[in-house]
Every structure is written in structure tokens, then in C-alpha cells.
Amino acid sequence: MNDFLHKLPVFLGNHMALAALFVILLVALIVMQVSTLFSKIKELSPASLTRLINRESPLLIDLSSIAEFEKMHVPGAKHVAMSQFDPEHKDLAKAREMPVVVMDKDGRGNSAKAAQRLIQAGFVKVYTLGGGVLAWHAAQLPVAKGNK
């Protein structure tokens, strides 16, 4: 260990670009983790969503395309097209105090944007499904088909 500490300054001096890249990546990783900790939107794993469904009966909103929704969705999820997603809608506004889980096909689409809009509209418990419906299916959890 002592030998490592003596060689470290020489290594850093010879590889400045590599050391700078390491520091930049480390800072970026820390910033991402801290922003995740303090975000009002929590990302759920399929197992966490199962527990939430069993304990609190959340409102499940699926923003996948209608074709993807009909092919496979989480049982009990309601399909809403992103173009028609409105947190101020009277039916959705009734759910301000209950948990709301927003999901899409793969977790990289519109779910984060929709969740942010819900937070701005005053919703208290907003979640996204990490990995989307594909992660739910990959966890071998039941899926529904069709438009209901």
C-alpha cells in the first residue's frame, strides 16, 4: 500500500487526461446519485411496484403507444396517450393524494416527463416504473393484453 501511494503522484503526472476524466466521471456519478436522492419522483422496481399495489392500490398510468399497451401492460393500468396527458383533468385531479405510478414501454420515454408534470400539479406521491413494462415482464410478473 505504501508503494502504491509513492507511485500515485508519478502516475497522475504521466496520465493527466486519464486522471481528469476519472475525476469528471466521479463527480457526474455523485451528482446523479444526489439528485436521485432528493428527487420528488421515486423510481420503483417491479418488486417495489408489486408491494405498492398490494399495500396502497395506486393509480397506474401507462403512456405507451396504444399498440404496445394492447400487446402488454401491467394489470390495472390505464392507458393515456402522452398527447392527452393532463394532470389538471378532473378525473386525474381526484387522485392528488393517492400514489400515482407512471410507466411506459421501456422506462426511457415519457414517464419521467409526465411524473414531473404531476409533481408540478401538486401530486404528492409520484413514482415511475424503472425499465417500464418491459422490466415488469422480464421479472416474470403477470401482464394483461387488450385495451382493458
* Cα–Cα distance for residue pair 146/120, rounded to 1 Å: 32
Q: N- to C-terminal Cα distance for the chain?
A: 62
Task: Let me know the angle formed at the C-alpha of 83 by 102 and 124, rounded to the nearest 5 degrees.
Answer: 35
Shared domain for 112 and 133, answered yes or no, is yes
Q: What is the pLDDT of residues 105-125, one digit of tens each?
A: 998 878 989 999 998 888 889
The count of structural domains within the chain is 2
* Cα–Cα distance for residue pair 42/24, rounded to 1 Å: 26
Q: What is the pLDDT of residues 60-106, one digit of tens each?
A: 999 999 999 999 999 999 999 888 888 887 777 778 889 999 999 99
Q: What is the mean pLDDT of residues 138-145?
A: 94
* 143 part of a folded domain: no
Determine the pLDDT at residue 148: 67
Closest among 72, 70, 68, 80 to 118, alpha carbons compared: 80
Closest among 147, 64, 50, 45 to 105, alpha carbons compared: 64
CATH of the domain at 78: 3.40.250.10
Shared domain for 120 and 131, answered yes or no, is yes
pTM: 0.76
Determine the pLDDT at residue 5: 85
Q: Where are the beta strands (DSSP E) in the chain?
A: 41-44, 59-62, 78-79, 100-103, 126-129
The domain containing residue 103 runs over which residues?
40-138
